[in-house]
Amino acid sequence: MVGKGNVEVTPYYTTVSGTSEGEQEGLQNQIGLNTAIGLSNKTDLRLRVENIWLKGSEFTEGLVVVGAGPKFRLKENIMALYLPVGRALGESTSDSWEFQPTMLLTFPAVKNVLDINLTPKYIFTFCEDCDDFVAANLGIALSKDLSKWAFRAEYGLLYDLNETGHNAQFSLGFSTLLRK
């Protein structure tokens, strides 16, 4: 949690690949910005915007995804619940709403220097021909002082509940806390 009145910003880069029937191929790249606003010491409002473009296409040929939702502390510095809602924006994305309830589990490996994070989630899609997904990400936050800033790396797997294969993503980001 970022603390009441504080703001955290995290720019990031992500690359995504897909695996099906033993074959793996690069799918897309993403750049984005996550922002957390401390509403109280137990609740944040998180906002996200990212640009996604398919491998082999130009950056400007992608689509924009936006999302927002509350994050609630369940156990200080260990467990939180994040409830974002979002959608893709663009001409071919009219019914692309998603709800992604996510558990955030943090294991402080080295106090205030290294955190290990596990984030399982279920992705509800709200469109006529869309499938739901399950996903899990494993990440680290590394810093001299995690209460001020952190380098972040994350690896995640996403599974379509009606298909074989999966997508994998790897992200790099940098978080900084802006105190009131």
Asked if residue 1 is part of any domain, the answer here is: no
Domain range spanning residue 72?
A: 7-171
Asked if residue 40 is part of any domain, the answer here is: yes
Backbone angles phi, psi at 59, to 5 degrees: -55, -40
Residues 75-86 pLDDT 10s: 999 999 999 999
Confidence of residue 58 (pLDDT cuts 50, 70, 90): low
- Whether the model clears a pTM of 0.85, i.e. scores above it, the answer is yes
Asked if residue 180 is part of any domain, the answer here is: no
Asked if residue 179 is part of any domain, the answer here is: no
Q: How many domains does the chain have?
A: 1
Asked if residue 45 is part of any domain, the answer here is: yes
* Residue whose token pair is 């709403």: 97
pLDDT (0 to 100) of residue 60: 63
CB 83 within 8 A of CB 70: yes
CA angle 172, 175, 89 (to 5 degrees): 70
CB 78 within 8 A of CB 35: no
CA angle 33, 35, 37 (to 5 degrees): 175
Residues 24-53 pLDDT 10s: 888 899 999 999 999 999 999 999 999 998
